[in-house]
Chains A and B, each alone.
Chain A
């Protein structure tokens, strides 16, 4: 049996990798890729706590499903924003997108 600490360490490492991507990438699409990694790390945690806690209580899996839905919504709106900005400003570099209106 795999100890629960292994799952939690994997999840923490994946979260930190995603955090690094969000903080250091210049491309807005790449920042969204980092957010996806962080959401996946959270899902690993939720599933691990469901399995190692009370299996009868489905809260962990239910929250993982909600995270899936939120991730899908976030990606759809985020990429639509990026595409919309790209049409107007012809750039996807997050540093250059610094005006609310132009």
Chain B
């Protein structure tokens, strides 16, 4: 077992454990904090996959913005859930069953896939992934249209969120 595999296993179990805490812990502020540690684990996975830009965006956008937004929302809707009965709904065991069977199904499909033996080719020397990504995002022959659609979506979400949460007196 190589060092990279050991790092992967440690990070993977850390990520999955934090993810389990996110969905099971009773205190929502704690759940948001566990989400931050899950997101950080995923950022390390991105770094292991040589996707450095994704790792940085994960830390800046997900941890820096989205997780903080969650903590704000938890505090703004602060009628403590713990004195309002259980955290799980009555049919939580059906949810657990569906989640377990979805994992089982995905794992089964994965076993039958014939691409599992492929290995990562070495990154060619002089290949700048961030440069390539930036070029691909604005190149008319590549992904400029999804990029523009994403920016329109963000503007629409910005306007919609302000409209929805605006407190009309």
Number of interface residues of A (CB under 8 A): 75
Q: Report yes or no: B116 in contact with A27, Cβ–Cβ below 8 A.
A: no
- Quick check: is B10 within 8 A (CB to CB) of the other chain? no
- Quick check: is A100 within 8 A (CB to CB) of the other chain? no
Q: Chain B contacts of A77 at CB under 8 A?
A: 157, 160-161, 164
Q: Report yes or no: A72 in contact with B157, Cβ–Cβ below 8 A.
A: yes
Interface bits B71-91 vs A (CB < 8 Å: 1, else 0): 011101101010011111101
Contact of A23 among B98, B115, B118 (CB under 8 A): B98
A90–B167 CA distance with the chains assembled, in angstroms: 14
Q: A25-B88, A68-B61 are in contact. Are A36 and B66 (CB under 8 A)?
A: yes
Interface bits A34-71 vs B (CB < 8 Å: 1, else 0): 10110010011001101111011011011011101111
A83–B79 CA distance with the chains assembled, in angstroms: 12
Chief secondary structure at chain A's binding surface: helix
Chief secondary structure at chain B's binding surface: helix
A79–B73 CA distance with the chains assembled, in angstroms: 6
Q: Report yes or no: A29 in contact with B73, Cβ–Cβ below 8 A.
A: yes
Q: Chain A contacts of B50 at CB under 8 A?
A: 51
Q: Report yes or no: A4 in contact with B23, Cβ–Cβ below 8 A.
A: no
Q: Report yes or no: B46 in contact with A83, Cβ–Cβ below 8 A.
A: no
B122-169 CB contacts (< 8 Å) to partner A: 123-124, 127, 129, 132-133, 136-137, 142-143, 146-147, 150-151, 153-154, 156-158, 160-162, 164-165, 167
Q: Report yes or no: B95 in contact with A76, Cβ–Cβ below 8 A.
A: no
A1-53 CB contacts (< 8 Å) to partner B: 1-10, 12-27, 29-30, 32-34, 36-37, 40, 43-44, 47-48, 50-53
| A69, chain B: closest CB distance, angstroms | 4
Can you list 21 A-B contacts with CB-CB less than 8 angstroms, sorted by A residue number? Answer: A1-B4, A1-B120, A12-B107, A15-B103, A23-B92, A26-B89, A27-B87, A30-B28, A33-B31, A37-B19, A43-B54, A44-B45, A47-B46, A47-B54, A50-B51, A62-B142, A65-B150, A69-B150, A75-B69, A75-B70, A79-B165
